[in-house]
């Protein structure tokens, strides 16, 4: 069973720069939590603070209620997988995996049993005798995973473990990792800059920006209701413009190119204020050009077939760049480039950020 | 291949002959003196004939029967061993510190380690005499060892630094820490295995350098603490055959060390600890 990890007010400064600036985390036992954000936002530093490889300037870290802030890494009892695998080059796969067990001076039979078990878990029974440089990247990362799991840590930390791998192996290993985490009921803190990866694998995502937590939520919550401009821009595709709110006959609207779109009245929206408006490409539908006054009228500039969906780039008069509209491919089969269309967006699908 | 195929057969043959002659010339130039020395050290008499008239191990027997020469060999080996120990004791901790804790400091260390390399041995020896022996009368063998250490610093540094740079030691140490290893375990299971080959090749390099060194030994050891190389030089004026035998012994030692070096380097290249960067 996984451990509960809590971090409160973590801070770490390098020189004059705050790499981590007041980060709070709370991972429930058995939960898969991702730290997601662009490069340099402090994900790795946060993970290293949890692992004990760096000391925080401020804040506390507890594992299952035990304060480990001042405990050295070798006594925190957690597993870590590094981006570049960090396998011991002088040891073969078997001995790499056995490392934590040998350090703990487990009896020989116990070590053998456990390593054999782990080799099977990561499908490397045939590679036990091979040295790291004789293994592919994917295999090395499997060894690194098995090595980190050997001592049965209740908490596993992974720092962009898949980013150095090919796309196909990445997807395969991601699925395996998730399956393993579920089976072992491990608590996982997973660092990635890839929002699609975070969406696919996580129970909960912590979006980070410049050393701070920007938003925390399930993948679905983050996708449907990004709380900040940053989250709206970082997660999934969206059409975003800086615009102003105007009241038309008492109803709030925004300007989009030369057109005007009604928006739902969610939250205080002072007329005249500059805001960022965002909507997802799949929220829009095409309507008959004639009857929709509150639609964006434009011309199809590009049609991209993406399998189940087809993406349209629609050029709207007065707008700087085309808007993206995703349709189910069967509904887009009859469309042609250059064709005029009307794009209708439900008012409550348009999210407004101050 | 295509280029070769287009050449006429005659030109290719000529190229091969020229190459064979050149290689033969180089081999003769290098091997002949050595071969002659070996023959001379084994000869009973060698004046009127192309090859010696008879062979004997007398020169070698005489060398090992001479207590002075034996002491010279002992001194050379002692000085070499001491140089190795002092050098390793200086360089290994410094490089470990730099690789694990202060990577930005490496450039300075590199610069410092290269300084002795830029000074001719004579200059270095005289400087050491002026600084330590003349004013303080520090023990000459000790100063000799310290000077050898100084001279061998660049080699030590390079060889061990190369071994450390081939792996990301810092991350390996961190990985070991997260796996529950304390510093003792890390030293034994992570640092030592990854630095051992570098230490060995550094040691062999330094052994080859220090064991037969003459100039500094002459100036610092002087007549009070003669090393093998000094007796070897002296023998030239007393008994040519003994001198030849000593030269062969010295060369033999260097050769064995060099072969060991090649073996170590070869093994490292083969099962090389290479991290994906
Ligand atoms: N050891 C360090 N020394 C100085 N600055 C560092 C160090 N580690 C990280 N930083 C800085 O802290 C910030 C956060 O880094 P990091 O946690 O590695 O980000 P991420 O993993 O999200 O890409 C970056 O600006 C980085 O340059
Ligand atoms: Mg990082």
| DSSP one-letter string for B196-256 | HHHHHHHHHHHHHHHHT--HHIIIIITTTS--HHHHHHHHHHH-HHHHHHHHHHHHHHHHH
Put simply, whether A129 touches B (Cβ < 8 Å) is no
Task: Please report the pLDDT score of residue A267 as a whole number.
Answer: 65
| Model confidence band, residue A89 (pLDDT cutoffs 50, 70, 90) | very high
Domain annotation covers residue B51: no
Higher pLDDT, A35 or A250: A35
Q: How far is CA A106 from each of CA A71, A103, A112, A296, B55, rounded to the nearest angstrom? A: 23, 8, 10, 69, 64
Q: A99 and B182: CB-CB below 8 Å?
A: no
- Residue A101 near residue A151, CB atoms below 8 Å: yes
**Contact partners, residue B226, CB within 8 Å, separation at least 6:** B68, B71, B72, B75, B217
Name the nearest CA neighbour of B195 among A97, A153, A88. A88
Question: Do B145 and B197 lie in a common domain?
Answer: yes
Question: Do B18 and B85 lie in a common domain?
Answer: no
- Residue A100 near residue A149, CB atoms below 8 Å: no
Question: Do B32 and B72 lie in a common domain?
Answer: no
Cα separation, A8 vs B44, in Å, equals: 89
| Model confidence band, residue B268 (pLDDT cutoffs 50, 70, 90) | low
Q: Does the A239-353 domain belong in CATH 2.40.50.100?
A: yes
A39: part of which helix (H) or strand (E)? none
Question: Do B149 and B251 lie in a common domain?
Answer: yes
- Residue A311 near residue A328, CB atoms below 8 Å: no
Closest approach of chain A CAs to the CA of B108, in angstroms? 22
Name the nearest CA neighbour of B203 among B272, B265, B117. B265
- Residue B141 near residue B83, CB atoms below 8 Å: no
Please choose from A10, A14, A163 the residue to mutate so as to test ligand 1's pocket, defined by most ligand atoms within 8 A of CB. Answer: A14
Higher pLDDT, B51 or B95: B95
The three-class DSSP label of residue A204 is: strand
Measure CA of the first residue to CA of the last residue in chain A; give whole Å.
43
A288: part of which helix (H) or strand (E)? none
Beta strands A58-63; A5-14: pairing state: antiparallel
Nearest atom of ligand 1 to the alpha carbon of A47: 17
B190 → chain A, closest CA residue = A88
Q: Is the pLDDT of residue A291 over 90?
A: no
Domain annotation covers residue B200: yes
A140 → chain B, closest CA residue = B276
Q: Is the pLDDT of residue B234 over 50?
A: yes
DSSP, res B105: G
pLDDT tens per residue, range B74-96: 989 999 999 999 999 999 999 99
Angle at A314 between CA A312 and CA A320, to 5 degrees: 135
Query: Which has the minimum average pLDDT: A203-207, B34-38, B103-107, B260-264?
Result: B260-264
Cα separation, B51 vs B60, in Å, equals: 19
Q: Is the pLDDT of residue B67 over 80?
A: yes
Task: Please report the pLDDT score of residue A266 as a whole number.
Answer: 63
- Residue A256 near residue A296, CB atoms below 8 Å: yes
Beta strands A79-81; A155-159: pairing state: parallel
Angle at B207 between CA B205 and CA B213, to 5 degrees: 105
Does A38 sit in the ligand 1 pocket, CB within 6 Å?
A: no
Question: Do B179 and B90 lie in a common domain?
Answer: yes
Q: B172 and A88: CB-CB below 8 Å?
A: yes
Residues 158-197, chain B, touching A (beta carbon < 8 A): 167-168, 171-172, 174-182, 185, 189-190, 193-194
For ligand 1, atom 13, the nearest C-alpha belongs to A19
Contacts of B277 in chain A (CB under 8 A): 84
Q: Is the pLDDT of residue B4 over 70?
A: no
Does A14 sit in the ligand 1 pocket, CB within 6 Å?
A: yes
For ligand 1, atom 6, the nearest C-alpha belongs to A14
Question: Do B157 and B240 lie in a common domain?
Answer: yes
For ligand 1, atom 18, the nearest C-alpha belongs to A44
Most confident of A90-99, B126-135, B257-266: A90-99
Cα separation, B231 vs A238, in Å, equals: 86
Identify the residue among B178, B181, B184 best suited for mutation to test binding to A, counting A beta carbons within 10 A and taking the highest: B178
Mean pLDDT over all residues of chain A? 93
Contacts of B168 in chain A (CB under 8 A): 84, 86
Mean pLDDT over all residues of chain B? 84
The domain locations on chain A are 5-233, 239-353
| Model confidence band, residue B274 (pLDDT cutoffs 50, 70, 90) | very low
Higher pLDDT, A265 or A242: A242
Beta strands A259-262; A251-256: pairing state: antiparallel
Contacts of B190 in chain A (CB under 8 A): 88
CA B42 to chain centre: 27
Read off the pLDDT of each residue in B222-241 and give the average, rounded to a whole number.
Answer: 83
* From B180, B190, B277, residue closest to A100, measured CB to CB: B180
Q: Is the pLDDT of residue B273 over 80?
A: no
B179 → chain A, closest CA residue = A100
For ligand 1, atom 17, the nearest C-alpha belongs to A42
Q: How far is CA A65 from each of CA A73, A176, B145, rounded to the nearest angstrom? A: 17, 30, 58
Percent of chain B with pLDDT over 90: 22
Read off the pLDDT of each residue in A37-42 and give the average, rounded to a whole number.
Answer: 95
Put simply, whether A137 touches B (Cβ < 8 Å) is yes
Does A40 sit in the ligand 1 pocket, CB within 6 Å?
A: yes
Sheet containing strand A5-14, edge to edge, reads A17-27, A5-14, A58-63, A66-67
Question: Do B10 and B130 lie in a common domain?
Answer: no
Q: B179 and A151: CB-CB below 8 Å?
A: yes
Read off the pLDDT of each residue in A323-328 and give the average, rounded to a whole number.
Answer: 95
Domain count, chain B: 2
Percent of chain A with pLDDT over 70: 98
- Residue A231 near residue A54, CB atoms below 8 Å: no
Put simply, whether A147 touches B (Cβ < 8 Å) is yes
Task: Please report the pLDDT score of residue B103 as a whole number.
Answer: 86
Q: Which CATH number fits domain A5-233: 3.20.20.300, 3.40.50.2300, 3.40.50.300, 3.30.360.10?
A: 3.40.50.300
Question: Do B118 and B255 lie in a common domain?
Answer: yes
Contacts of A89 in chain B (CB under 8 A): 167, 172, 194, 272-275
A4: part of which helix (H) or strand (E)? none
Q: A89 and B174: CB-CB below 8 Å?
A: no
The predicted model scores a pTM of 0.82
| Model confidence band, residue B143 (pLDDT cutoffs 50, 70, 90) | confident
Please choose from A19, A198, A206 the residue to mutate so as to test ligand 1's pocket, defined by most ligand atoms within 8 A of CB. Answer: A19
Read off the pLDDT of each residue in B248-267 and give the average, rounded to a whole number.
Answer: 82
Task: Please report the pLDDT score of residue B237 as a whole number.
Answer: 85
Question: Do B33 and B74 lie in a common domain?
Answer: no
Domain annotation covers residue B55: no
- Residue A73 near residue A148, CB atoms below 8 Å: no
Does A192 sit in the ligand 1 pocket, CB within 6 Å?
A: no
- Provide the angle, in degrees to the nearest 10, between the axes of the packed helices A137-149 and A108-121: 140
Q: B168 and A84: CB-CB below 8 Å?
A: yes
CATH code for position B189: 1.10.3720.10
Using CA atoms in the order A199, A200, A204, A205, what is the torsion angle rounded to 10 degrees?
-30
Domain annotation covers residue B277: no
Burial of A89 (0-12, 13-18, 19+ CB in 10 A): buried
Question: Do B14 and B95 lie in a common domain?
Answer: no
For ligand 1, atom 11, the nearest C-alpha belongs to A19
Domain of B8, in residue numbers: 2-42
Q: B179 and A147: CB-CB below 8 Å?
A: yes
Residue A341 pairs with which residues in a beta bridge? Answer: A298
Q: How far is CA B162 from each of CA B39, B200, B201, B265, B270, rounded to the nearest angstrom? A: 41, 12, 11, 12, 16
Read off the pLDDT of each residue in A213-238 and give the average, rounded to a whole number.
Answer: 94
| Model confidence band, residue A41 (pLDDT cutoffs 50, 70, 90) | very high
Contacts of B274 in chain A (CB under 8 A): 89, 133
Q: How many CB pairs (< 8 A) connect A and B? A: 88
The three-class DSSP label of residue B262 is: helix
Contacts of B194 in chain A (CB under 8 A): 88-90
Task: Please report the pLDDT score of residue A58 as a whole number.
Answer: 96
Query: How much distance in Å is there from the Cα of B164 to the middle of ligand 2?
Result: 23
Name the nearest CA neighbour of B253 among B269, B237, B229, B230. B229
Task: Please report the pLDDT score of residue B277 as a whole number.
Answer: 32
Cα separation, A49 vs A28, in Å, equals: 18
Cα separation, B112 vs B103, in Å, equals: 15
User: Which ligand is in closest contact with the Cα of A19?
Assistant: 1
Q: Is the pLDDT of residue B230 over 80?
A: yes
Question: Do B71 and B13 lie in a common domain?
Answer: no
Cα separation, A96 vs A131, in Å, equals: 9
Angle at A290 between CA A284 and CA A291, to 5 degrees: 70
DSSP, res A258: T
Please choose from A12, A42, A50 the residue to mutate so as to test ligand 1's pocket, defined by most ligand atoms within 8 A of CB. Answer: A42
> What sign results for the dihedral spanned by CA atoms B61, B67, B70, B76?
negative
What are phi and psi for residue B52, nearest 5 degrees? -55, 155
Domain annotation covers residue B54: no
Task: Please report the pLDDT score of residue B275 as a whole number.
Answer: 37
- Residue B180 near residue A151, CB atoms below 8 Å: yes
Contacts of A147 in chain B (CB under 8 A): 179
Burial of A28 (0-12, 13-18, 19+ CB in 10 A): middle
Cα separation, B42 vs B56, in Å, equals: 5
Task: Please report the pLDDT score of residue A308 as a whole number.
Answer: 94
Q: Is the pLDDT of residue B136 over 80?
A: no
Does A302 sit in the ligand 1 pocket, CB within 6 Å?
A: no
H helix runs in chain A, sequence order: 43-51, 93-103, 108-121, 137-149, 167-184, 195-201, 219-224, 229-234, 329-332
Task: Please report the pLDDT score of residue B267 as a whole number.
Answer: 67
Question: Do B133 and B172 lie in a common domain?
Answer: yes
Task: Please report the pLDDT score of residue B37 as a whole number.
Answer: 86
Task: Please report the pLDDT score of residue B243 as a whole number.
Answer: 85
Task: Please report the pLDDT score of residue A289 as a whole number.
Answer: 63
Higher pLDDT, B229 or A112: A112
Read off the pLDDT of each residue in A91-116 and give the average, rounded to a whole number.
Answer: 96
- Residue B185 near residue A103, CB atoms below 8 Å: yes
């Amino acid at each position: 069973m996984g451990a509960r990890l809590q971090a409160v007010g973590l801070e770490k400064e390098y020189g004059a720069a705050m790499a981590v600036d007041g980060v709070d985390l709370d991972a429930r036992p058995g939960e898969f939590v991702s730290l997601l954000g662009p490069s340099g936002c402090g994900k790795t530093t946060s993970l290293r603070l949890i692992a004990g490889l760096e000391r925080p300037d401020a804040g506390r870290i507890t594992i299952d209620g035990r304060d480990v802030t001042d405990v050295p890494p070798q006594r925190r009892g957690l597993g870590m997988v590094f981006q570049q695998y960090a396998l011991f080059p002088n040891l073969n796969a078997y001995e790499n995996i056995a490392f934590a067990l040998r350090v703990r001076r487990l009896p020989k039979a116990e070590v053998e049993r456990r390593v054999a078990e782990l080799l099977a878990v990561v499908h490397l029974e045939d590679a036990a005798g091979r040295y790291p440089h004789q293994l592919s990247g994917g295999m090395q990362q499997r060894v690194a995973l098995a090595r980190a799991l050997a001592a049965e840590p209740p908490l596993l930390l992974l720092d962009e473990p898949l980013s150095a791998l090919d796309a196909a192996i990445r997807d395969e290993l991601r699925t395996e990792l998730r399956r393993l985490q579920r089976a072992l009921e491990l608590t996982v803190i997973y660092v990635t800059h890839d929002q699609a990866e975070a969406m696919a694998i996580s129970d909960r995502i912590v979006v980070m920006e410049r050393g701070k937590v920007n938003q925390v939520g399930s993948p679905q919550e983050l996708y449907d209701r990004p709380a900040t401009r940053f989250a709206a821009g970082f997660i999934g595709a969206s059409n975003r413009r800086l615009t102003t709110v105007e009241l038309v006959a008492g109803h709030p609207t925004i300007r989009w190119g030369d057109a005007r779109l009604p928006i739902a009245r969610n939250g205080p929206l002072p007329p005249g204020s500059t805001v960022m408006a965002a909507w997802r490409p799949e929220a829009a539908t095409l309507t008959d050009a004639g009857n929709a006054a509150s639609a964006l009228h434009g011309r199809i500039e590009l049609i991209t077939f993406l399998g189940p969906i087809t993406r349209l780039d629609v050029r709207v008069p007065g707008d700087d760049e085309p808007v993206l509209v995703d349709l189910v491919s069967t509904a887009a089969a009859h469309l042609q480039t250059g064709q005029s269309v009307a794009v209708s967006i439900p008012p409550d699908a348009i999210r407004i950020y101050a | 291949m295509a280029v070769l195929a287009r050449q006429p057969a005659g030109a290719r043959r000529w190229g091969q002959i020229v190459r064979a002659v050149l290689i033969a010339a180089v081999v003769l130039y290098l091997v002949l003196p050595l071969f002659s020395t070996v023959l001379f050290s084994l000869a009973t008499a060698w004046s009127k004939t192309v090859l010696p008239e008879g062979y004997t191990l007398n020169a070698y027997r005489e060398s090992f029967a001479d207590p002075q020469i034996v002491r010279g060999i002992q001194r050379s080996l002692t000085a070499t061993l001491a140089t190795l120990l002092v050098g390793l004791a200086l360089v290994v901790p410094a490089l470990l510190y730099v690789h694990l804790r202060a990577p930005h400091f490496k450039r300075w260390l590199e610069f410092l380690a290269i300084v002795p390399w830029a000074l001719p041995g004579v200059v270095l020896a005289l400087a050491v005499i002026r600084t330590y022996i003349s004013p303080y009368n520090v023990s000459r063998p000790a100063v000799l060892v310290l000077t050898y250490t100084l001279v061998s610093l660049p080699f030590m540094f390079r060889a061990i630094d190369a071994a450390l740079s081939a792996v990301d030691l810092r991350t390996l140490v961190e990985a070991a820490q997260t796996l529950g290893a304390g510093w003792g375990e890390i030293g034994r299971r992570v640092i030592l295995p990854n630095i051992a080959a570098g230490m060995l090749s550094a040691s062999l390099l330094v052994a080859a350098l220090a064991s037969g060194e003459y100039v500094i030994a002459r100036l610092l050891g002087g007549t009070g603490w003669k090393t093998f190389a000094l007796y070897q030089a002296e023998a030239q004026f007393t008994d040519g055959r003994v001198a030849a035998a000593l030269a062969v012994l010295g060369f033999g030692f260097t050769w064995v060390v060099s072969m060991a070096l090649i073996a170590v380097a070869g093994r490292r290249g083969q099962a090389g600890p290479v991290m994906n960067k």
